[in-house]
Structure 1
Amino acid sequence: MLNSPDASSTRPYLLRAMHEWCTDSGFTPYAAIFVDETVQVPMEYVKNNEIVLNLGYDATAGLTLGNEFIEFKARFGGVPREIIIPINRVMAIYAKENGQGMSFPMGTSSEAMTAPKKMPPVRPALSAVETLHTKDGPEADPPTPTTPSGRPALKRVK
């Protein structure tokens, strides 16, 4: 759809590239998602309007990394769920094993609904990740802005 607000966004292409790199390198792709009314995820796993999801093929069924949405089915606590995430709600994608990945700028809730007039630069290579694993699926504390510029910074917790 060429006339959609996100038609010129590079985010879906970068997400697919990072997902492919993780998979080809034997890493597990994780995505940090900003959750609002447009995101369909199990709300009981959401903390501070954020959730981290395993996007690996072993954890998902029917994964589609489209230009407007990420869609798949996954089990949470043994219960199958359908997950639908608008592309503009993805804050970061990274390899669980080494934290390398890419983060994306997030505006306010209303700003995130539309594409920005000028695409801000993407900051590559996340250095670390804070995750907590549950028996039936990953759950993580979301990245929090800790840098002077207000950009998200991830911290590894062992």
Structure 2
Amino acid sequence: MLPPSMKPYLLRAIYDWCVDQNYTPHIVVRVDEYCRVPMQYVRDGEITLNVGPLATKDFFMDNEWVGFTARFGGVAQMVSFPITAVLAIYARETQEGMGFEVTRYEGNTTAPQEKVEKTPQKDEKTTKRVNPFRLVD
């Protein structure tokens, strides 16, 4: 049995470094049949995605998948792709990052879409908040 890949750990480390430095992390993905991305933005079989906290919602990156919701042309879309499809991750501002070998995905053939959940609709009772703090003189 092969040891677990370092790739997801390195991706998360560089992502965290970008966010900590107030840089914008971008991921380059080689698109294949497992990738759920907006195909109109794919060029030469690849897509570059802004995965910064301001550009994504419900972002997750585990050892097999990356997923989030983002707006493309003003329309919110769910995006997911296997870690094996990631070509590179870098900071837009400095171009610092790391490239990776792309390998064939051998895991579960369906993306864990349940991780990219839509925000539950809040009813009026749950949106009303009471401030537990009071200003005192």
Unpaired stretches in structure 1, ≥5 consecutive residues: 116-158
The Cα of 1:113 is off from its aligned counterpart by 2.3
Looking at structure 1, the residues matched to 102 and 37 of structure 2 have their Cα atoms a distance apart, in angstroms, of: 19
Q: Which of residues 13, 19, 39 is equivalent to 2:15? A: 19
**Number of residue pairs matched?**
107
Paired residue for 2:46, among 50, 63, 81?
A: 50
Q: Which residue of 2 aligns with 1:133?
A: none
Whole-angstrom distance in 2 between the partners of 1:65 and 1:17: 11
Q: Secondary structure at the match of 1:113?
A: coil
Partner of 1:144: none
TM-score (norm 1): 0.64
Q: 2:105 aligns with which of 110, 113, 120?
A: 113
Aligned residue for 1:44, secondary structure, equals helix
CA distance in 2 between counterparts of 1:105 and 1:37 reads 18
User: Counterpart of 1:83?
Assistant: 79
User: Where in structure 2 are there 5+ consecutive unaligned residues?
Assistant: 108-137
The alignment-based identity, stated in percent, is 44
Q: Which has the larger radius of gyration?
A: 2
Over the aligned positions, Cα root-mean-square deviation in angstroms equals 1.7
Residue 88 of structure 1 aligns to which amino acid in structure 2? T
Pick from 88, 100, 123 the counterpart of residue 104 of structure 1: 100
Residue 106 of structure 1 deviates from its aligned partner by: 2.4
After TM superposition, the runs of 4+ consecutive aligned structure 1 residues lying more than 4 A away are none
Offset at residue 105 of structure 1 (A): 1.3
After superposition, give the CA deviation of every residue in 1:10-61 in whole Å (9 maximum; x if it has no partner). Answer: 1111000000000001100000000011100000000111000001000000
Match in the other structure for 2:60: 64
Alignment TM-score, normalising by the size of structure 2 = 0.74
Q: Determine the C-alpha separation between the residues in 2 that align with 1:60 and 1:53.
A: 10
Q: Whole-Å Cα distance in 2 between the matches of residues 80 and 26 of structure 1?
A: 24
Structure with greater helix share of residues: 2
C-alpha displacement of 1:114: 4.1
SS at match of 2:87: strand
